[in-house]
Structure 1
C-alpha cells in the first residue's frame, strides 16, 4: 500500500478530530471517525463497542457524564503501514480545565492501540483499544 504525505496528514487529523468532537459533544462527528463497522474496546472494563449503534450509545453516555468538563489530548502518535491499513499508537491524557475557583486537574492517562482503514472519506478507526495507565479509574 502506498502511504503518501497526504495520507499521513489525514491520519494525524483523525486523531485530533476524534478528541475535538468528543470534547465538543459532537456525537455525529465522533462517529464519523470510525469505519462503519468500527470497534472500540476498553480491556480493563471488559467492554467492546462495535458498529454505529453501540458506539453511539457509548459516546452519548460519556458526553452526558462528562458534561463538557473534560479535554482529551493525545501525543506520541506512531503510525506504520500494515497489510490491513495503518497501525497507530498514541498516548492519551484527559484533563479537567481549571476555573477561577478550581485549578486544572489531570484525570487519567492511557494508551490507544489502533488499526486505521482507508475509506472513501479518508482514514477511519477500524479498531481502537484503550488501555488506561490506572485501570481502577475508568473515567
Structure 2
C-alpha cells in the first residue's frame, strides 16, 4: 500500500516526535547517572550550546552538573517538527536526594542528522524561588 503525501507527512511527524521524546528521556537518565560523555552525545556533533539561567556554554563539559543524587525529569512536551529541524518546550523538574528542588522550562532546538535526532541547543530557565510571605497575625 502506498501512502499519500499527507499520510506520509503525518507518519514522519509522529515518528520524529517519538524519537525526540526518547532522546529527551535518555538525556535525563544520563544526567541523573552522572554520565558526562553520554549526556554530551545527545547533542549534535559540533556547534551545540547549552544555556542555563542566562549563562551560555559552548563547551558542554562546563555546563554539565548532573549526578550526585540529582535527577532531572521533563514533562508536558510541546514538539514541533519541520523536516529535519524541530523545537521542543517542556517543563523541567529537578530532584536532589529524592526531594523536589526546582522547576523550570527547557526551550530546545533539535536537528535530524546521522540517522537520529540531536539537540542543537537547550535553554533552561529555572523558575524563581517563591518567597514566603510573612504570616498575618
Which TM-score applies when normalising by structure 1? 0.76
CA distance in 2, matches of 1:40, 1:10: 20
Look at both structures and tell me which one has the larger radius of gyration over its CA atoms.
2
CA distance in 2, matches of 1:109, 1:12: 19
For the pair 1:33 / 2:27, whether they are aligned, the reply is no
Which residue, out of 55, 62, 83, partners 1:57?
A: 62
8 Å Cα contact 2:13-2:81 kept in structure 1: no
Equivalent position of 1:100 in the other structure: none
Are the structure 2 counterparts of residues 8 and 126 from structure 1 closer, same or farther at C-alpha, using a change threshold of 3 Å? same
CA distance in 2, matches of 1:83, 1:10: 14
RMSD: 2.0
Matched pairs, number: 119
Q: 1:129 is paired with a residue of what secondary structure?
A: strand
CA distance in 2, matches of 1:84, 1:122: 10
Q: CA deviation at 1:84?
A: 6.4
CA distance in 1, matches of 2:77, 2:91: 7
Q: CA deviation at 1:119?
A: 1.2
Q: 2:69 is paired with a residue of what secondary structure?
A: coil
For the pair 1:86 / 2:94, whether they are aligned, the reply is no
Are the structure 2 counterparts of residues 122 and 84 from structure 1 closer, same or farther at C-alpha, using a change threshold of 3 Å? closer
Equivalent position of 1:10 in the other structure: 19
Are the structure 2 counterparts of residues 29 and 47 from structure 1 closer, same or farther at C-alpha, using a change threshold of 3 Å? same
Runs of 4+ in 1 over 4 A off after TM superposition: none
Where in structure 2 are there 5+ consecutive unaligned residues? 1-8, 131-137
Q: Deviations over 1:76-122 (max 9, x none)?
A: 0110123661010110001123xxxxxx4211000000111011141
